[in-house]
Amino acid sequence: MADVGAKPVTRREAVALSELRASPRALGLLLAGRLSKGDALAVARVAGIMAAKRTHEIVPLCHPVGLDCAEVSFRVGRGRIAIRAAARCDAKTGVEMEALTAASVAALCLYDMLKPVEQGMTIGPTYLGRKTGGRSGTYLRRGAAGLIDESRWG
């Protein structure tokens, strides 16, 4: 584990994005609330938030971070569910891993909830959209073809 003892506490925020691609039938059932496992978006939101809070238990060399906020939101579109996860805290180390873990677990949870309807779904890309705080300052991923544009999330 990296020694962060001498680093100053700063406000830190990270946003990660992912997506799950699924058939129109599967997404239609999700939107109609007709999945056998229940409300997939609500369950995936809670799963992502829970995962963000426990990232240090999942990723071996991550520091435990006391999150001030973890958020997961979705946009359902043509053949896909876009996932946006944000994490914020005042700490000596960043929250990129917490945001990435939240987005990843939310996608996995959606897969699990939709798999009775479809097994051919795909997850990804999953990536850091932006981060602020710390010594390295602000990072903002520039949009690329086929990727979710976090700056237009709204």
Catalytic residue status for 112: yes
Phi-psi region at 128: left, alpha or beta (left = phi > 0; alpha = psi -120 to 50): beta
Task: Give the position of tokens 């996995």.
Answer: 108
Alpha-carbon torsion (59, 63, 142, 74), positive or negative: positive
Which residue of the set 3, 39, 68, 112 is catalytic? 112
**Number of residues in the chain:** 154
Contacts of 40 (CB under 8 A, 6+ apart): 30, 109, 110, 113, 114
CA distances in angstroms from 45 to 2, 7, 73, listed in the order given: 30, 32, 7
122-140: string of b/e by CB count within 10 Å (b at 16+)? ebeebebbbbbbbeeeeee
Residues annotated as catalytic (active site), given as ranges: 112
